[in-house]
Structure 1
Amino acid sequence: MDCIHVTEIRCYGYIGYLPEEQVLGQWFEVDVSLWLDLSVAGKSDAIEDTLDYRTTIDTVKQLVKSSKFALVETLACAIASSILEAEKVTQVRVRVTKPSAPIPDFGGKICIDITRSKQQ
């Protein structure tokens, strides 16, 4: 199966377990991998035969900006569910990164990585 990777979708959101995360917000980075058949698009050179990934980027940004989840895991699942609504996508991998998690004495990143498939 073919795959489209869209990486480093950066947006500001209000997702987090701590109350200040839901008030002050923070930056998130999202990477998605979309599995679908690209053979027709490879021959036709027509955008209607593939997935217009601008729609995927808009979907991710809208979900991050408007969601009020306590867990990044819930955000990742919501993004995956929304992307799987696209007719051509059969599987999606979503990686949500919290680059500046508010954890004392921790300078790393927190990443949630999920893969979901359409139910056949």
Structure 2
Amino acid sequence: MKYVAVSLVTAAVAVGGFAFVAVPRLLRTESTSTVGSTGAVSRAEVEKQVRENYSVPLIQEKPKSVSCAGGLKAWQNDSVECTVTSGNGKQQKVMVSVTKAKGNSVSYDYAVLAD
């Protein structure tokens, strides 16, 4: 499996001696959930969060559907592969990985997988 890195171009503008840097937000890649009684974030919750927070790059279109292989355990670096389907039916694989687990809270990030 390969991860695809997306390079963002930044623009700096000087106004009245101050420099402002604009970084376009092409893809939101983070969610936080509460761990259930099983000590994990359920598959349904992961799919819901990806569907609500993942946008197709450049278009900012929410996915039509998301299907994940399972849930996420509440420990750092646990991961699950998901398939995101856009409105036009195109599918994209993403890896959802835990970035932080503290108490009942789990934060996770998405990375697009190369074919």
Q: Aligning the two structures, in what range does the TM-score lie when normalised by the shorter sequence?
A: 0.3 to 0.5
- Structure ranking higher in strand proportion: 2
TM-score (structure 1 length as normaliser): 0.34
TM-score (structure 2 length as normaliser): 0.34
- Structure ranking higher in helix proportion: 1
